[in-house]
Amino acid sequence: MSMSLSKELELEQPLQDIRHETLLNVVRTATMLSLRGEEFFRKYGLTEAQFNVLFALKYKKTKWTQSDLGKRLVVTRASITSILDKLEAKGFVIRNSVEGNRRIRHVELTPEGLKLVRKIEPIYRRNIHRVLSCFSDSECKQIIEYMEKIRGGLKNLKYSITQ
């Protein structure tokens, strides 16, 4: 039983609160993106989260700790531990201990890990471009800006009485 993503129920639900509808749309879209992502990466024996780690490691400029990875990918440290356990078992990453700070580990791609990312990446990119084919670069930039603004807005909640 697999989700029929193509059929989206047209609702007669009134657009009675545009802000609510906005957030719902963002979440709904991300859900669909993730479902498709999982489906895609499964072909390579990876979860989306695992690929995201590999991909992030490929393009990072500095050394990253597990904690850094978690912040980047919006995932708890506990999850990062679990994801890395799997990737390490498959030989795609290594955790290096760091002299000068015995708490942290720097995470790096192994040659095998790099090879895998290089194999998946072009296909992944092609798919992504297909999904966003009807967007111009400036529209993409605008979406990114909007998303950053929403995440910024989330911080408003932090300092408010939410009940």
Partner DNA sequence: TTCCAATTGCTTGACATCTAACAATTTGTT
Partner DNA sequence: AACAAATTGTTAGATGTCAAGCAATTGGAA
Which residues of the chain form beta strands (DSSP E)?
93-98, 101-109
For 116, phi then psi, to 5°, come to: -65, -45
Give me Rg for the CA atoms of the chain. Answer: 19
Dist. CA 73–CA 105, nearest whole Å: 17
Minimum gap (Å) between residue 67 Cβ and DNA: 3
User: Looking at beta carbons only, is 98 or 132 nearer to a copy of itself?
Assistant: 132
Angle among Cα 38, 50, 148 to the nearest 5 degrees reads 80
Find residue 101's DSSP bridge partners. Answer: 98
Residue 65's binding partner out of a copy of itself, DNA, none, with CB under 5 to 8 Å set by partner kind:
DNA
Q: Which of residues 101-140 bind DNA (CB under 7 A)?
A: 101-105
| Three-state SS letters, 49-82 | HHHHHHHHHHHCCCCCEHHHHHHHHCCCHHHHHH
Instruction: Report residue 118 as tokens.
Output: 């290089």
Q: Which of 29, 82, 96, 97 binds a copy of itself (CB under 8 A)?
A: 29
Q: Which of residues 83-122 bind a copy of itself (CB under 8 A)?
A: none
Binding footprint of DNA, residue count (CB under 7 A): 32
The answer to the question of residue 54 lying near DNA (CB under 7 A) is no
Q: Which of 38, 66, 68, 86 binds a copy of itself (CB under 8 A)?
A: 68
The answer to the question of residue 149 lying near a copy of itself (CB under 8 A) is yes
Binding mask 14-53 for DNA (x = CB under 7 A): -----------------x---x--xx-------x-x----
Binding site for DNA (CB under 7 A): 1-3, 31, 35, 38-39, 47, 49, 65-67, 74-86, 95, 100-105
